[in-house]
Amino acid sequence: MLVYLHLAALGLYGLSAALALAPFAGFPVASRRWTLWVAGVGAGIHTVGVAQLSLVGTGPALSVLAWCLVLLQIGSELLLRAAAVALFTAPLAGGLVGLALLLGLAPGAQPSAGRNMWFILHVTLSVLGLALLALAFISAALYLLQFRELKAKRFGQVFQLFPPLERLDRLNHVALVAGFPALTVGVLLAVGYAVRYAGGMHVDPAQLVWGSFTWGVLGWTVWVRVARHWAGRRAAFASIVGFAAVVLVYVALKLAQPGTERFL
Amino acid sequence: MSIAVLGVNHRTAPLEVRERFAHALHEVPGALARVLEAGAAGGVLLSTCNRTEFYLAEPQEAVPEAVWTLLGERLSGRGDRGERSAQPYGYAERDRDAVRHLYRVSAGLDSMVLGESQIQGQVRDAWETSRPQAGPVLHRLFQSALLVGARVRTETKLGTGTASVPSAAVAVASKIFGELAGRSALILGAGDMAELAASCLVAEGARVTLVANRTYERARAIAEQLGARALTLDEAWSHFADTDIALCSTAAPHAVVTWERVAPAIAGRGGRPLCILDLAVPRDVEPAVGQLENVFLYDVDDLQAVAGQAAAQRRGEIPAAEHIVNEEVERFWAWYGGLAVVPALKEFRERLDAVRAVEVDRALRRFKHLPPEDREQLDQFSKALLNKFLHEPTVALKAAADRGRGYALLEALKELFGLERGDGP
């Protein structure tokens, strides 16, 4: 059942990606209602699947990340009419769900019943923080693409279909400002979980390094935006560099410690 | 019965001719009265910068001459009757073609900027202004024209996109700032295009805060209209530090917005984008200014490229729009044909009844010996016979009118029985 739900979500995310990419292949732009409906139904089915996951292991973590990304895609479209976000989120979510299916959706041991709530909140908030950092990266990438087209006076598909610069900058700002507290609470819950149930701070070094690094990167991007008033292109570059660094460090740590039982 | 349109538009006359034909609102009733005097049941005058058209109901033969004379006077100057003829610049359409013409105008199919929506308001204004002189047929025609325009814009994409330079300027600025509400704009120069683009920006919620011009008086005149502050050009450069949009349209023969003049101010913007719309020919802004960080510079060619893209998309919608227009023309013509049937039938009946009465009278004069009851019987018989003869044509004509083919049969009836010509016994 879990696999079928993920397969259905994968199909709808694929359709959502196809609808987002269609205008760039010369097809007409799909209506807003239709794109929202496809992503919404996909997210709905995926929600049922995510509710059945143990949340332990790489596969489930990727599935939750994909779910958060699609929810953020829908939120961006509804609140800021940033439909172009789907150009990145829909294929990314589809890819993550596909990868989760390949790696296995229930690879590891279940956390004990008493620890479940801590664990669910830790995973959900941490992954949400990561997804918001990804959204900041996506809005930054869209910003730079639109900026380049506007500067170069090219009035093609990017000019017509991408949101205005200021709206993308606001989306980047909101994603970072919302992502930092989510990740902070997620990390604090991990610390609390370790102290309460693992008898102290006996955390895997890779988890500690990556968690701290990601938190530090997200904190820095928020700091430069809020305290240093970075905006526009400079803030976009900061988000892209930050997200790329987080992904690269994760890949490096995962290569050093292969296995799908744990996220890291 | 017929409908006609006579006029000139942007396809048939250059701007310097069209502007002479343009009628101010207060001139419309007088001009219409003159044309109606030549013999027409109603008239509407549609006068915009791109067209001057007289729509007329049941125009007599002298009406076209009256229209061309009236327009010719405007071409030659007041009190110089008919020296220059307006007819070479004009066109005339009748009946279905006249209805189709108005529907195409209202839908924006005949506009200089394909699909523009301003024309719909102008058609409405023309109808409102001419209403006392329009008559019921043109009243209905203009009412339906507005509905056709709305239908075309709703059911096709003829009105989507930005198909003019001022609206392209708004579209480009919107791609930088998103919402334009609350954005500040600086106008440099006092060109018509800048004024038009500024009004488009204001319509989107932008605030024109400063107007700068070489001559301070001209700047003040425009600034007063827009509720802005007037400046000289030299005072304007420092304001590039805080404005969001700069609209440039001076008549200077060389670039006035140079790197040296505005770079120091732009450096102090703190990364905020600045949109510069250079609508002047020759250009007002040095291309190097566009290389400055967060400065987005667009000239007329760039904006025409944006407008051209939208126009190309709109052209694809023409067949769908024409289909709607043709459908509505037939609908109107069915109504119009039905409208014409009733008085024509009445006249037809009266004409034949007059023939019957004359013939019965003639017969009764020969049969003077008949008692009054028989004479009455004979009269009744003639009436019954006439009713029998008229029943089939009446039913057929009414049915044809219901099917929208009444007008053709009616024309045949008029031709065969000499209706409206005063022929007969």
Q: Which helix (H) or strand (E) holds B46?
A: strand B42-47
Strand partners, B188: B212, B248
Residues in chain A, total:
264
Peptide bond into B282 cis (omega under 30): yes
Please judge whether A153 and B302 are an interchain contact, meaning their C-beta atoms are less than 8 angstroms apart.
Answer: yes
B 154-213 residues with CB < 8 A to A: 172, 174-178
Domain ranges within chain B, ordered by starting residue: 3-159, 165-308, 342-417
Please judge whether B175 and A150 are an interchain contact, meaning their C-beta atoms are less than 8 angstroms apart.
Answer: yes
Q: What ipTM was reported for this prediction?
A: 0.86
Q: Is A167 an 8 Å CB contact of chain B? A: yes
The domain covering B3-159 belongs, at the CATH homologous superfamily level, to Glutamyl-tRNA reductase, N-terminal domain (3.30.460.30)
Q: Which of B165, B175, B292 to mutate to test the interface with A (most CBs of A within 10 A)?
A: B175
Q: What is the per-residue pLDDT across B31-73, written as a single tens digit (0 to 9) for each?
A: 999 999 999 999 999 998 789 999 999 899 899 999 999 999 8
* Backbone φ and ψ of B193, nearest 5°: -65, -40
* Backbone φ and ψ of B9, nearest 5°: -145, -170
Q: What is the pLDDT of residue A81?
A: 87
B49 is catalytic: yes
Q: Is the pLDDT of residue B312 over 70?
A: yes
Shortest distance, CA A153 to any CA of chain B (angstroms) = 7
B 263-292 residues with CB < 8 A to A: 270-273, 290
Shortest distance, CA A213 to any CA of chain B (angstroms) = 29
The domain covering B165-308 belongs, at the CATH homologous superfamily level, to NAD(P)-binding Rossmann-like Domain (3.40.50.720)
Which residue is associated with the tokens 């056709």? B148
Q: Is B302 an 8 Å CB contact of chain A? A: yes
Is A73:A123 a contact under the CB 8 Å cutoff? no
User: B34 is written with which tokens?
Assistant: 């003159």
pLDDT tier, B131 (very low <50, low <70, confident <90, very high otherwise) = very high
Domain ranges within chain A, ordered by starting residue: 1-110, 115-258
Q: For residue A192, count other CB atoms closer than 10 A to its CB.
A: 13
Mean pLDDT value across residues B404-424 = 68
Please judge whether A166 and B178 are an interchain contact, meaning their C-beta atoms are less than 8 angstroms apart.
Answer: yes
Percent of chain B with pLDDT over 70: 94
Is B211:B187 a contact under the CB 8 Å cutoff? yes
Mean pLDDT value across residues A147-151 = 96
Please judge whether B175 and A146 are an interchain contact, meaning their C-beta atoms are less than 8 angstroms apart.
Answer: yes
Q: What is the pLDDT of residue B425?
A: 44
Please judge whether A166 and B177 are an interchain contact, meaning their C-beta atoms are less than 8 angstroms apart.
Answer: yes
Mean pLDDT value across residues A3-14 = 94
Mean pLDDT value across residues A125-153 = 96
- B271: nearest CB among A146, A151, A231: A231
What residue in A sits closest to B308 (Cα-Cα)?
A155
pLDDT tier, A197 (very low <50, low <70, confident <90, very high otherwise) = confident
Q: Is the pLDDT of residue B405 over 70?
A: no
Distances (CA, A) of B12 to B3, B84, B88, B113, B331: 21, 16, 8, 16, 29
